[in-house]
Structure 1
Amino acid sequence: MSTPLVLVAHGSRDPRSARAMAAAAAAVRGARPDLDVRLCFLDLSAPSVEQVVDAVASEGHAAAVVVPLLLGSAFHARVDLPGLLAAERVRHPGLDLVQADVLGDDERLIAAVRDRAVTAGAAADDPSVGVVLAAVGSSRGEANARTSAIAPRLLSGTAWSGVEVCFATTEPTLPQAVTRLCAAGARRIVVAPWFLAPGLLTDRIDAAADAVAPDALRADVIGDHPLLVEVVLDRYRAALPRTRTTRAA
């Protein structure tokens, strides 16, 4: 019996978000049909973490690896999810729950965003293209700085005139990013979301683009990109040796 892989997504009132995460989970299952892959959500969407852990325990599993479908190591990864898993360990003392690392700013996810931009029509060898990398944003300056550091990594290997980061919840805003790109010589703008799934915040970014750059190309979210699947499975494999059953073997 393989150790289950429990994917934990953020959750949203927007049903598109849950559908996108379900597609990502399906892609992981497709890559590893031998693996027991389950999806749950921290909030607002079903099933919950508690429901999935209950099912894993009731089926007699000794351990599970929990992979957060999160791009940053913020409150949900550092406080919320560990607290939930601690409570589940009390409820199910025979089940070893190991939390894997977040997806983070893995180079493969940056490559996935680059691929989404190219698929949207922003040829990698086109110097007239300027890319707005749109992210959530945080109240913590250091978190925003880490996201901003993705810009030159996304630009690498292309002839694009520049990449500017904007945030849905703080500055710099999308209009500010577009202004900077145009000043640097960009004549074609592509908005590339640093998001796993669509939702209210990606709609906010799209609305801002409609207002200041209506002709901008719109790249898709990372979603079920094959490179996301690679990262998820790597996080699972890295955490697997930390399970109690593996340590005892």
Structure 2
Amino acid sequence: MDEGRLSAAPATPVAAGSPALLLIAHGSRDARHAATVADLVARVRALRPGLDVATAYLDHCAPRIPQVVSRLGSAAVAVPLLLNRAFHAKNDIPAALRAAGATLPTADVLGPSPLLLAALDRRLAEAGPELASAAVRARTGVVLAAAGSSDPAADAATRAVAAQWRRTRGWAAVEVAYASAEGPRVPDALAALRRAGVRRTAVAPYLLAPGRLPDRIAGAAADAGADLLAEVLGAAPEIARLLLTRYDAALTELRTAPALTA
């Protein structure tokens, strides 16, 4: 499936007998996190009328995974609301599902995907409509500001997203920064852009919902004099479509696996 063309796709009614989509989010003490997840779920439901979409959280928010699994039983596909395959995807979610007695098929994480790049484009264009111009993008350096991870593979995946975004969109440069863990911070990345000769700078949070880390990124961007600051990815339409793409892929794998085994 060409994910890059999904942004114009119409709503698709759910097929009879389709399992529920169990969206598993991290959770946060910040009320904006759960509100963003709720907005995203509403978009998913609008794109796939009739699909049972449930939400469970790993921490801080309710409902938790055991509560939701007890209602859904085995008729669900778990879809992590995560950008990279780091600790939460590799350990926390599988452990929480096992502890709940669930053996649900689990979709892949959201990244990488052309739809993530499209969502990043959307948020930056909202902050600076002039970025629709290829000539302006060619003069603009961007900081892709992620949460950061202790997993080297996850950080490598973020750097690959940055490289693809620069290559396909024509930015003057794209530097990666992290809000936690080790690695360059937003001021370091902005300084690197300026040393490379970029005079117009933008910061794009590579994060799904508001909270402590996005606020840290925003504060650092302001203090370091970034020209533009995008919002988090949030309930962008591209993210809703990407969740359904991951759900559909997991469902196809589930349905074809017995035939392949046979």
TM over 0.5: yes
Contact in 1 for aligned 2:87/2:151 (Cα 8 Å): no
Structure 2 SS opposite 1:164: strand
Once the two structures are TM-superposed, the CA of residue 157 in structure 1 deviates from its matched residue by 3.7
Query: Equivalences for 1:128-139 in 2 at 5 Å?
Result: 128-139=139-150
Q: Which residue of 1 aligns with 2:44?
A: 28
Once the two structures are TM-superposed, the CA of residue 247 in structure 1 deviates from its matched residue by 5.3
- Residues 237 and 3 (structure 1), Cα distance of their counterparts in 2 relative to 1, 3 Å cut: same
Contact in 2 for aligned 1:6/1:38 (Cα 8 Å): yes
| Partners of 2:139 and 2:204 in 1: CA distance | 16
| Partners of 2:82 and 2:72 in 1: CA distance | 22
Q: Which residue of 2 aligns with 1:228?
A: 239
Contact in 1 for aligned 2:146/2:207 (Cα 8 Å): yes
- Residues 241 and 89 (structure 1), Cα distance of their counterparts in 2 relative to 1, 3 Å cut: farther
Contact in 1 for aligned 2:25/2:82 (Cα 8 Å): yes
Query: Equivalences for 1:159-198 in 2 at 5 Å?
Result: 159-169=170-180, 170-198=182-210
| Partners of 1:154 and 1:21 in 2: CA distance | 25
Contact in 2 for aligned 1:13/1:45 (Cα 8 Å): yes
Query: Equivalences for 1:206-217 in 2 at 5 Å?
Result: 206-213=218-225, 215-217=226-228
Q: Which residue of 2 aligns with 1:18?
A: 34
- TM-score w.r.t. the length of structure 1 is 0.88
| Superimposed CA distance per residue, residues 57-106 of structure 1 (whole angstroms, 9 cap, x where no aligned partner) | 3xxxx52100000011111111111112122236xxxxx52111111221
Pairwise CA RMSD: 2.1
- TM-score w.r.t. the length of structure 2 is 0.84
Structure 2 SS opposite 1:156: helix
Equivalent position to 1:156, from 146, 150, 167: 167
- Residues 157 and 240 (structure 1), Cα distance of their counterparts in 2 relative to 1, 3 Å cut: closer
Q: Which residue of 2 aligns with 1:93?
A: none
Contact in 1 for aligned 2:221/2:229 (Cα 8 Å): no
Q: Which residue of 2 aligns with 1:143?
A: 154
Once the two structures are TM-superposed, the CA of residue 113 in structure 1 deviates from its matched residue by 0.6
Unaligned runs of 5+ in 1: 91-95
Unaligned runs of 5+ in 2: 1-16
| Superimposed CA distance per residue, residues 163-219 of structure 1 (whole angstroms, 9 cap, x where no aligned partner) | 111001122111111011112222221110111111100111111112111x52111
Query: Equivalences for 1:15-94 in 2 at 5 Å?
Result: 15-57=31-73, 62-89=74-101
Contact in 1 for aligned 2:147/2:179 (Cα 8 Å): yes
Contact in 1 for aligned 2:116/2:238 (Cα 8 Å): yes
Amino acid across the alignment from 1:83:
A
- Residues 86 and 226 (structure 1), Cα distance of their counterparts in 2 relative to 1, 3 Å cut: same
Once the two structures are TM-superposed, the CA of residue 2 in structure 1 deviates from its matched residue by 2.9
Equivalent position to 1:123, from 123, 131, 138: 131
Structure 2 SS opposite 1:53: helix
The alignment covers a number of residue pairs equal to 238
